[in-house]
Structure 1
Amino acid sequence: MKIAPSLMNMGLLHVKDDIKQLDPYTDFYHVDIIDWHYVKNMCLSPQVIKEIRKVTDKPIEAHLYVDNLEEDLIDYCLQCGADIITMPSDIVGRSIHRFSKLIHVRKAKVGVFLNPSQPVSEIQQYSDVLDQLILLSVDPGFTGQDFVQGTFQKIANAKSYREKSSSDYMITVDGGCNQSNFKRLFDAGADALVLGRGLFDRNADLGTAISETYKEFTRLEAAS
């Protein structure tokens, strides 16, 4: 599985130091952009991506919890250095082909996320344009929630549908991922995990936390 630290959990007063410790083990960074409308929370912005881009060459995902999503925000995220744009499936379904063309022309990747209440079948009309499918394992927009157990079956469903439809999206799980469920997520077929508190609260020393997580993922792969 790939490691995607969720940067809404990092210490904003020492971003550069945190990125330096995370970089050797990170596959891509996950940046939550929340607008207070899609869910009643606010978080990072495209400007954060622009600053992070100055201190890392790793891919950066702009994860858009945004209502009334339009091309200008997508374009701004790309200008700021985002390599992956992931969008709410319940908002962008009617515009996904137009948005995906805009993103792919800019040599970036396209993704959508499904809330826990949404079945994998919702992407069947456009799975061929997706590079990434994020399965939210908690309700959107807030850290610290309990992991929704139905996510394991949903991963299996996403994997099965990917094979049947000849799609090629990466299956990513976001929310409540930690040491207690890493193995089950790996066994279910997850390709990447977004790690928030499961990483940042694992050890007071972030370098130790990310190193231990990387070693655990490596052991799971070796044992498979």
Structure 2
Amino acid sequence: MTHRIHPSILNANLASLDAEIRRIPSADAIHVDVMDNHFVPNLTLGLPVVECLRANHPGTFLDAHLMIENADAHAPAYAEAGCESVTFHLEASQAPIRTARQIRSLGARASLGLRPQTPIEPLADLITEFDMILIMTVDPGFGGQAFLDVMLPKIRRTRAIVEASGQEIWIQVDGGVSEATIERCVDAGADVFVAGSAVFRAEDPDAMVRGLKAMAGARCGGH
């Protein structure tokens, strides 16, 4: 299993994003949190900033995480802007399959995000409509929160559903991922890890990215 580290720029210096991204060349992607102060109680950045990031970092995999209301109307625009992966939340979508198919038709990976309290089981028959499932391991909205261990069984159930589908669907975890928690996430079946404060508050952010990836790989290799 390939493990991917997607540092979240929510915890970076937002006034110097280009420089911050250059500090983490070992990252597999840049995780871009888009918040509208409605779906979550925080306001971050939107489509114009994403378009600038795409233009300034043409070779970088952009992983957009939309924590916004009315996701069906807005998510395709992030695929059009050149994001390689677009995550929208089930709780903010009235037509998740249609929206996922729109995102895929625009050449991006379609990903579905779930708040901690949203179960995975109702999605079992629909799982192949998505390229990734994002399991929030904190309540979405703010960086730096403590990892919720109670989400580990949900990650395991998601892995079982993905395995049963026979498709290669990534399982991403977001929230409190660090050296102290990544091994538990690997054990539960996650393979894509969003790390924000653990990376950007480290003395050497890129060394932290490499370290987290090494820990994930070693943990998986030991099973």
The answer, yes or no, to whether TM exceeds 0.5 is yes
The Cα shift of 1:32 comes to: 0.7
Partners of 2:168 and 2:90 in 1: CA distance: 17
Match of 1:211 in 2: 210
> What secondary structure sits across from 2:23 in the alignment?
helix
- State the AA in 2 paired with 1:87: F
- State the AA in 1 paired with 2:116: P
Q: Deviations over 1:185-224 (max 9, x none)?
A: 11111111100112222x2232333333344334334444
Tell me, yes or no, if the aligned pair for 1:3 and 1:26 is still in contact at 8 Å.
yes
- State the AA in 2 paired with 1:61: D
Identity of aligned residues (%): 26
Match of 2:184 in 1: 184
Q: TM-score, normalised by structure 2?
A: 0.90
The Cα shift of 1:182 comes to: 1.4
Q: TM-score, normalised by structure 1?
A: 0.90
Match of 1:143 in 2: 143
User: Which residue of the other structure, out of 60, 63, 80, is the alignment partner of 1:61?
Assistant: 63
- State the AA in 1 paired with 2:132: Q
> What secondary structure sits across from 1:126 in the alignment?
helix
- State the AA in 2 paired with 1:8: L
Tell me, yes or no, if the aligned pair for 1:18 and 1:206 is still in contact at 8 Å.
no
The Cα shift of 1:59 comes to: 1.6
The Cα shift of 1:179 comes to: 0.8
Partners of 2:176 and 2:156 in 1: CA distance: 18
Give 5+ residue unaligned stretches, structure 2.
none
What is the number of residues matched between the two proteins?
Answer: 220
Distance 1:215-1:125 versus aligned 2 partners, 3 A rule: closer
- State the AA in 2 paired with 1:159: R
Q: Deviations over 1:62-109 (max 9, x none)?
A: 2111112243x22321232211111111222x3112212211111111
Runs of 4+ more than 4 Å apart: none
Q: How does 1:9-88 map to 2 (within 5 A)?
A: 9-23=11-25, 25-53=26-54, 54-71=56-73, 73-88=74-89
Match of 1:6 in 2: 8
Partners of 1:22 and 1:95 in 2: CA distance: 36
The Cα shift of 1:125 comes to: 4.1
Distance 1:21-1:144 versus aligned 2 partners, 3 A rule: closer
Distance 1:15-1:129 versus aligned 2 partners, 3 A rule: same
Match of 2:199 in 1: 199
